[in-house]
Structure 1
Amino acid sequence: MRKVYLSPPDVGERERELLLQAFDSGWIAPVGPDLEAFESEMAAYLGVGHAAAVSSGTAGLHLALRLVGVGANDEVVTSTLTFVATATAVCYLGARPVFVDVDPTTWQIDPALVARFLEWRAAQGRMPAAVVTVDLYGQCADADAITEVCAAYGVPVIEDAAEALGATYKDRRAGALARVGVLSFNGNKIITTSGGGMVVSDDGDLIDRARFLAAQAREPATHYEHETAGYEYRLSNLLAAVGRAQLARLDEKVTARRTLNARYRAALDDLPGIEFMPQASYGHPTWWLTCVTIDAETFGASPEAVRQALAGDEIEARPVWKPLHRQPLFADAETVGGEVADRLFATGLCLPSGSSLAEADQQRVVEVVRAQAVSLS
């Protein structure tokens, strides 16, 4: 029986062709024509002025936080419902994350709670150094609402768009919704370079600084001169070649995931106790992962029981992100709300959503889920 993965890489002959061309060109190091082209092509796709490719989305977040001035003992506000890297990048700089609950109608960071926290901190005379929005599971956070409240207090906004490349917010693309945006090209993302990421912005000085820091902060001297600490965060020209082939097929991959999501809804919507992640009115998500919540009492089985049943049929599924305020690593972190994220973690399940998922394999997923329902009448 063929294993069905949650979100595997979707690569083909064109990726292999460009990779070998890059190899044969001799541009093996993290510099070269494919790297420059990948950056410019991504910037054009997003509609931003500048982009710097890096070794991972986590590296991109680390750089973005440093670019906007985050330092030791600062606070950085972000969503509690996200992958851990959003917050560990804050810790890299000696800063402290503050976790904010999500809006149940979008699963994205709640702008009203952000506004409440900023108002409270303003009254205390100690503002956070940044707010990091997270575009969860392929859907954008409410960028305008967050940007407006942050602008009122002079707090810069970073967009963690690692899960949402290809999504739109009003007439803009995910990744282009804040002063600095960060993308991920990890193997499970909608496009991949095996591992990689990108920092994007309309501010050319910021992106120049990102490149400088990502290249060990080497000063322009014939010898190796360093005035500040940098990082080895550059992306390989070889991997950038793969990224170029992937980017050329991005719209195709987005369409495939949206089609999968629509099929899941059509096949499972009639089951009592199952609800799909809601779509926000302000944009068009990619549905990087199709996620559902399962009311165990109404449905007849818990999310974990459904996950185990899928695993028994060689199908990978996983819970919704564990809220970061529930992670042992952040046991002492300040949290605003949290009840919504707690509920989503307790009831949520992510279903296989890869753009290469065959319709027959998706039907296997549907049949296993339906078989767990208490009643199919």
Structure 2
Amino acid sequence: MIPSDSDLLAWYDHNRRTLPWRAESGAVADPYHVWISEIMLQQTTVTAVIPYYHRFLERFPSVAALARAPLDDVLQAWSGLGYYSRARNLHRCAQALTDLGDFPQDVAGLQALPGIGAYTAAAIAAIAFGVPVVPLDGNVERIAARVFAVEEPLPSSRKILAQKAVTLNGGRAARTRPSDFAQALFDLGATICVPRSPACVLCPWQKPCSARQMGIQATLPRKAPKVERPTRYGAHFLLLDKSGRALVRRRPAEGLLGGTIELPGTAWRDTPWHEAEIGRQAPFADRHTKAWRVPDWRMVGTVKHVFTHFTLFIDVYAAVVDTLPNPREEEGFVTARTEIDGLALSSLMRKCVRIGEAGLSDCMNGDRKLA
């Protein structure tokens, strides 16, 4: 039995959430606002996104403003949201949209843009352009799993959940109001059909929900057992000179935290770094000149940071020297310490900088040097 689209829309009309990127009832959504919010909401909660969204729109109020901004400004505005490939793709996509002249208004055209996948294309198409499609995010997957009692665990059930979800908007009301219908599904999953303890007595689809009839709604969607998250280890170095300059470097454009600024450091590996190795990995470790005095490094703390696929432990070392030498290109670049906060640092690196600075008073009078 397919739930009534009119029942869901009637519920939505009385219970819709007020969100900064959502158009007022009866108004047409701004595709730029929808796009930015959907990219930010990937892997991030609504509560966490809202302040970032406001600041981002203040800084980049239009596609054109985002396209002409330096990538570093975009990465800096994104700092703390994680998954920095999203920010790089936003910048690339804004430039592509500038070349096109406007947003494509169909799913295929949207999905051809950098960083816009099947879900995001469907969400923009439905919400901003009234295309009658069902965007399949985690909320909609959960609703479909329960309404149709799909007991096969994720992720192998995604194909059948997508097929089931498509049938949800088959009625006339959903086809007449595709933007509202898509957002009604999001709100239902976010406020009623929640992962734990769904509020079934308040749900407009409680009667046709097969999982509720079977008494298994709270157990769906089922998930395959989690694989234990591996642990990796690294070390990063905060090196300042007495004039207040610091050494930093840029990560490769592609890959984890790509394009962001970081303190120089080791590779991240599966086994801890030993102190004897650290000395050889430190900045300028291979320079043996009379003009350069090897810093007295001290380990000042450890940062734990959890990524999606692994947990990282970073030992932070700090030192102060009289004057920093001119770095080679592969060693990074020198910047004023007062300017570091304005650089495109990841939240991980901001933690490392804070710990490094907290230990600098000890480093100034360090009583030992790494081997």
Q: Given the two structures, how large is their TM-score scaled by the length of structure 2? A: 0.28
Higher relative contact order (CA 8 A, sep 6+): 1
